[in-house]
Amino acid sequence: MTAVADGYAVIRAIDPSGGVVTPEGRVGRVLRGEGCSVQYLELPAGLYMYEHAHPWESVVLTVRGRWVICAGGEREIIGPGSVTWFKPGLSKGFEVPFAEPALLLIFRPAADLLDDDEYQMYWEAVAAKMELMRERGTAFRIDSLPEDHPARIFASKIRPGSGSSL
């Protein structure tokens, strides 16, 4: 990050090689401002993330790759350059029935302004919780779902063979 003047910063390139690895993908902070923050989330190929809600609003820019949003059981493919808005409390899931990962930038409100150490600890705790969920049987991959699961059926329609061999 380049700080040209007080109150002004430039991120020349997003580097998703750091951050914290969770079953949902690799997540890390890009920038923390005074009233908002930006984080990246790299969704791995084959990902299945069940529908869940957050109490905050967010805007998501798809930088590269394709992914599927699932809200209320309805699925839509999202591609590079797309901007998606999620209202607070919206239940949504993410799927990547494609061979390549998807890189997202997530713009969040002031409520997400943890300092860098708190942010890191928060995501490490989330990763540990999700790993425990995986050990207890929660599926985080499309190919771990039952053959008749809607995510597998959708994947096989948009990418034949993807529902069983991601």
Average pLDDT over residues 27-50: 91
Higher per-residue pLDDT: 88 or 35: 88
Instruction: Examine the pLDDT at 165 and tell me if it is beyond 60.
Output: no
Higher per-residue pLDDT: 96 or 3: 96
What is the pLDDT confidence band of residue 143, given thresholds at 50, 70 and 90? very high
pLDDT confidence of residue 36:
85
Higher per-residue pLDDT: 84 or 8: 84
pLDDT confidence of residue 45:
96
- Compute the mean pLDDT over every residue in the chain, rounded to the nearest whole number: 88
Tell me the pLDDT tens digit for each residue of 74-105. 999 999 999 999 999 999 999 999 999 999 99
Class level of CATH domain 19-112 = mainly beta
Distance in angstroms (rounded) separating the CA atoms of residues 67 and 60: 12
User: Where in the chain are the domains?
Assistant: 19-112
pLDDT confidence of residue 2:
59
Cβ neighbour number for residue 4 with a 10 Å cutoff: 8
Higher per-residue pLDDT: 132 or 6: 132
What is the pLDDT confidence band of residue 164, given thresholds at 50, 70 and 90? very low
Query: How does DSSP assign 7-36, residue by residue?
Result: TEEE-----TTSSEEETTEEEEEEEE-SSE
Distance in angstroms (rounded) separating the CA atoms of residues 18 and 135: 24
